[in-house]
Structure 1
Amino acid sequence: MKTLYAACLARLGLSQSEAATLHGSRLDTVKNWAVGRRTVPDGAWSDLRAYEARIVDRSEALREAWEDAGEIRDMELQTHGDPVALMAAADFLLSSNEDPPVMIELKN
């Protein structure tokens, strides 16, 4: 990783192609941002913050549902191929202090 922008994409689980779609930009533009050839515009940073907020909101909803269900040990999560749902599940699992960890079975 050469840039903060590339690190943010990796942290959010976004490919450059997915980032281009998120920003409504061309793939070559995102590639230029990722390697530092071009300055990332403020709007792109806003897009990334909004995407992360969706992940955090979904993760918090998962935690609330888990707590409401009596902190069950095994969960099944329908992702329907949604990368936000997948990242939210990862965030929920990594933020859990349960030992052994909660087991999450993903269903598309």
Structure 2
Amino acid sequence: MFKGLYKVEFKTPRRKAVGIVYAADGKLRGGSSAYAYVGSYTENGDTITAVISSMRHTNDPNYPSVFGFDRVTIDCQGSAKGEFATFEGTAAETPSLGFKAFLTRIAD
């Protein structure tokens, strides 16, 4: 089961970033120092499918977007095993730019 509070490390070929995300009851909520993450997920066997919107909440050039846009919608698919989850996908705004995320459970 995917439910819990996770540290998320994600990257595109442009750059890397970190944040947190809480997954429960099909909803994803989280953020970082400059971005908020809001989305949903479904679990089907071992596969998790998610759609996440990322939006800038703080205008700070020290926290650039991994996509090059301040607002994106990411479609991704992955799986969770034990305390970890991995995802891969793309943002609608940059479909040729691959996205990978590695999540580590912090708490239930």
TM-score w.r.t. structure 1 length?
0.23
Normalized per residue, the structure richer in helix is 1
Normalized per residue, the structure richer in strand is 2
TM-score w.r.t. structure 2 length?
0.23
**Structure exhibiting the larger radius of gyration computed from Cα positions:** 1
